[in-house]
Structure 1
Amino acid sequence: MSPRPEPTNFRHNGWPLVMALSFAQMISWGTIYYGFALFVVPMEEALGWNRATLNGALSVGSLVGGFCAYPVGRLIDRHGGRLLMSVGSLVASLMFVAWSQVEEVWAFYALWIGLGATKAFTLYDPVFAVVTRLFPENFRRRITIITLLGGLASTIFVPLTAFFIHWLGWRDALLALAACNLLVCLPVHAFWLRDRVVSNPPAPVHVTPELPESRGPMQRALRHPAFWGLLVSFTAFNMMASSLTFHYFPLVAERGVPQALAVAIFAVIGPCQVLGRIALLALPPMNAAVIGRVVVTVFPFAVLLLLPSGGGAILLFGFTLFYGLANGCMTIVRGTAVPDLLWRQGYGAINGAIALPGSIAAAVGPTAAALLWETGDSYGPVLWAIFGLSLLAASAFWFAVSRREQ
C-alpha cells in the first residue's frame, strides 16, 4: 500500500505553513500592490513629477511581472518555490529601500522593473503553484484560506501605509514597508517553506513514465481546447476588471454621484470579496468547473446594472455587491482551474502562460477604455465594451469546462 500523501514534517497536515504563507501573502499584496497609490500625491509634491509619469512606472512593472510569470512557474514546477519566493521577498525589500532614496525618473522606472518581477515571485500565482505542488489532494481549501487572508491586504495595509506616510513621511514609510517584507515574508519563505512534493509516494516501479515536467505538460496544454478557453476567459476578465477599477470614479462622476457616496459604495467591494470566499469555505468542497460557471455568469449581470445612464446609488450598490462577491471567488477559480480542468503536472508553467496575456490586458485595459471614452465623450461605449468582455470571459470559461480533461 502506498504511504498516505501527507507531509511528514508538517504538523497538522501543513496548516501552520499554509497560515504562514497566507500572512505573507497579505503583507506582499499590501505593500507591493496596494501601497503605490498612496505615494503618488506626496511624490508629486516632493519631486514635481506628474501623475502620468508615476503611473507609467506601475504599468511597466505590471508588464514585467506578466512576462516573468511563465518562467517563474516553470522553475517552481521543477525546483519548488522556496528559493524563488525568498528571492522575491528580499528583492522587494531592496526595491523599497531604493524607492525611499529615489530622485530621478529613470531610477524610479528601474526599481519598478524590479518590483514588477517580485509580483511574479511572491503574489498569488507562485503561492498557488507551491500549494498545489505540496498538497495535490486538498489544495482547493488551502488556496481559499490563502485568498481569504490575502483579501484583507487592502483593508489592513491601506490605512497602515497612510499612517506610516503621515507619521514618518513618504520616504521613511517605504523603509517600513521594506521591513515588513524583510522581517516577515522573507523568513516564512526562506526558513519555513520546503520544496518536498508531499503527495508523491517513494518511486514505485509501476508508475507510468511521463514526459519531463517542465516540457510535456505545457506542450500538451497548448494542444488542449480547455487551455485556450481558460486563457481567453482570464484575459478578457483581466481587461474588464482593470477597466472597471480605474474608470469607476470618473464614470460615477460623469453621472453626478457625489464623491463621498461613490467612495462609500466602492468600499463595499473589499468586504464582499472576503464574504464570497468565506461562503466557499462554508459550502461543501467544489471544483473550479462548478464555482467558475456560476462566477463568470454573475459578471455580465453585474455590469448590466451599470448600463442605465440614469442609474442611481441603488444600482451602483447592486453592482459593487455582485461584482465584489464574484471577484472574490474568481481569485480561487483562477488558482484552481488548471488542476481541475486540465491536470496538476506543470501547473506553474501552464498557469504562468495563461497569466501573461492577462497581465498585458490588465495593463492596457484602462488606456483602451480612456481612448474609447474620447470617441464619444461618454462612458456609454466603454460600458458596452466592458459588458462584451464579461460575456466573452463567461462564454470562454463555459467552453473550457465543456472541453475539460476527463
Structure 2
Amino acid sequence: MAASERPGRGERWFLTGLGIGQICAYGSLYYGFPLIAEAMAADLGLGKPEIYVGAALGLIVAALAAWPVGVLIDRGHGRAVMSGGAVLGSLLLLLWSQVHSLLPYYLILAALGLVQAAVFYEPVFAVAARRFGPEGARRGVTALTMWGGFSSTVFLPIIQFLLDQQGWRATLVVLGAINLLVTASLNFLVIDRRKDRLEPPGAAGRPAPARPGTSEILRMPVFWALALAFTAQSAAISAFLFHLYPLLLERGFQAHDVVLAMMVIGPAQVGARMLLWLFAPGIRVSRLGIVTTLAFPLSFLALTLAPPGLLTIVLITIVYGTANGIMTIVRGIAVPEMVTRQGYGAVNGLMAIPATVTRAAAPVGAAMLWAATGSYDAVLWAITAATVVLAAAFALAVLVANRPARRMIVA
C-alpha cells in the first residue's frame, strides 16, 4: 500500500472504533441467531418455521428502512443513526430475553430489523464514504470488512458457552449489554459530521455533479444487474448461515464441532481481505467480482456432495469464507465504481431493498423446504442454484458497466 493510502491516526481511530462496533453488531444481532433460535425453540416447544418467521419479519423491516437510512446518512446524520440504532438494539435484546410466546417475539424481531438497517455494513459503508470521499471509499470499506470478519469467530464460541452455562435468556441479556456498552458508545464517539467529505467539486471549477435521482438510478441497467446479483447472494448466504448449525447437527456432528466449522469462516474472510489489502489494493471491482462469484457455486456444490467429515467441512467453510470476505468488499465498492459516485447511501439503500427482502424470505423458505423433504439436501441444492444466478448476474453487470455510455455516468 502506498504511503499516501495509509490512514492517519484519526482515521485509524475512526476505523478501529467502527470496526469493533461491527464485530459486536453482527456477532450479537446476526450470527448468534441460529444458536439462540434452536435453544429457544426447544425451550418453548416451537417449530423451526415458526422461529424463522421472526427472522424474516426483521429482515423485511430492514429492507423497508434501508433507503431512508441511507438518505439520513447522506445528509450527515450517521452518528445519530448508528449509535441510536445500537441503543435500540440493546433494549430489544433485553425484551427478547423475557418472551414466552410468538406474538411478542415477532414484534421484537421486526423491530430488530430497523436496528440492522441502522448498524450493519450498508450504513457503515455510507458513513465511511462520507469520511473518506468517493475516491477513498475502497480503503475504508476494505478496512471495515476486515474488522467485521471477526464477528463470527469472536461471538460464536461466546454465545455457545453462554447457552451451555446460562441458557438463551441470560445470553440475550449479555448481548444486549454489549450492544449498549460497546457498539453504541463507539459509534457515537468516532463518527464526527465535521470531518465528512461532501460531494467532490467539478473539474476546472465547474459545479459538482448532481446526485442522481431515484428514477434515474432505476433506469440504469447496471443497477438492476448488480441488484439481482446481490439479491441472489443474500438469499444464498442468509439460508446458509441461518441453517448451517442445524444442517451440520443433522449430519451427525456434535455442537462444538459445528461451532468450530463455523468459526473458521471469520478468519478466512479476514485473511482474504488482508491479502487483497496488501497485494491487490487497486484491482478493478469487476475482475475481482467475477472470480469471487464463481467460488460460491463451487463451494456449495462441494458441501452438497462431500462426505460428512469434519476436515472436509472445515475446508469447505474456509473456501466459502474466503469468497464471502472478498464479496463483501465488492458489494461495498460496486456502487461508486460501477454505478455512480454521488449519493452513496441512498443508492446503496435502494440496492439493499430487494437483497434484504430476499434475505428475509430465504431462511423461512429453507425451513419450509426442510420440513417438506425431511432433510437439508434439497436446501443445499436450492442455495447452489442461487449462487449460479449470482455469478451470471454479476457478469452481466460487468458487461453493462463497461459500455462507454455507462462509464460516462459513473464519472
- Three-state SS of the structure 2 residue aligned to 1:344 is coil
Q: Which residue of 1 is the match for residue 226 of structure 2?
A: 230
Q: Deviation at 1:165?
A: 4.7
TM-score (norm 2): 0.84
Which of the residues 331, 335, 339 maps onto 2:332? 335
Q: Which residue of 1 is the match for residue 389 of structure 2?
A: 392
Question: Residues 152 and 265 of structure 2 are in contact (CA less than 8 Å); yes or no, is this contact kept in structure 1?
Answer: no
1:147 is aligned to 2:145? yes
1:241-262: CA deviation from partner (whole Å, max 9, x where unpaired) = 23333455666677x6655766
Q: Alpha carbons of 1:34 and 1:387: their partners in 2 closer, same or farther (altered >3 Å)?
A: closer
1:44-74: CA deviation from partner (whole Å, max 9, x where unpaired) = 4655545543332222112211221111112
Distance, in Å, in 2 between the alignment partners of 1:150 and 1:284 is: 20
Which of the residues 106, 119, 127 maps onto 1:109? 106
1:193 is aligned to 2:195? no
Q: Which residue of 2 is the match for residue 270 of structure 1?
A: 266
Q: Deviation at 1:192?
A: 2.7
Q: Which residue of 1 is the match for residue 356 of structure 2?
A: 359
Q: What are the ranges of 5 or more consecutive residues in structure 1 without an aligned counterpart? A: none
Of 165-174 and 353-362, deviating more is 165-174
Q: Which residue of 2 is the match for residue 27 of structure 1?
A: 24
1:65 is aligned to 2:62? yes
Q: Deviation at 1:184?
A: 2.1
Q: Which residue of 2 is the match for residue 221 of structure 1?
A: 217
Q: How many pairs are equivalent?
A: 395
Of 200-209 and 129-138, deviating more is 200-209
1:276-326: CA deviation from partner (whole Å, max 9, x where unpaired) = 112112213124222211111212222332454768667645532322210
Distance, in Å, in 2 between the alignment partners of 1:56 and 1:107 is: 13
Distance, in Å, in 1 between the alignment partners of 2:70 and 2:181 is: 25
The residue type paired with residue 25 of structure 1 is Q
Distance, in Å, in 1 between the alignment partners of 2:103 and 2:21 is: 30
**RMSD, matched Cα:** 3.2
Question: Residues 135 and 199 of structure 1 are in contact (CA less than 8 Å); yes or no, is this contact kept in structure 2?
Answer: no
- Three-state SS of the structure 2 residue aligned to 1:101 is coil
Q: How many percent of aligned residue pairs carry the same amino acid?
A: 37
Distance, in Å, in 1 between the alignment partners of 2:305 and 2:101 is: 45
Question: Residues 152 and 263 of structure 2 are in contact (CA less than 8 Å); yes or no, is this contact kept in structure 1?
Answer: no
Distance, in Å, in 2 between the alignment partners of 1:206 and 1:345 is: 18
Q: Alpha carbons of 1:364 and 1:217: their partners in 2 closer, same or farther (altered >3 Å)?
A: same
Distance, in Å, in 1 between the alignment partners of 2:58 and 2:127 is: 23
Query: How do 1:7-406 residues align onto structure 2 when only pairs under 5 Å count?
Result: 12=9, 14-40=11-37, 42-44=39-41, 47-136=44-133, 137-165=135-163, 170-196=168-194, 197-198=196-197, 206-208=205-207, 210-211=209-210, 213=211, 216-248=212-244, 258-259=253-254, 264-285=260-281, 286-306=283-303, 308=305, 316-369=313-366, 382-404=379-401, 405-406=406-407
Distance, in Å, in 1 between the alignment partners of 2:248 and 2:41 is: 25
Q: Alpha carbons of 1:66 and 1:93: their partners in 2 closer, same or farther (altered >3 Å)?
A: same
Distance, in Å, in 2 between the alignment partners of 1:159 and 1:380 is: 27
TM-score (norm 1): 0.85
- Three-state SS of the structure 2 residue aligned to 1:349 is helix
The residue type paired with residue 30 of structure 2 is Y
> Which structure has the highest helix share of the two?
2
Distance, in Å, in 2 between the alignment partners of 1:352 and 1:369 is: 26
Q: Alpha carbons of 1:207 and 1:195: their partners in 2 closer, same or farther (altered >3 Å)?
A: farther
- Three-state SS of the structure 2 residue aligned to 1:138 is helix
Question: Residues 309 and 380 of structure 1 are in contact (CA less than 8 Å); yes or no, is this contact kept in structure 2?
Answer: no
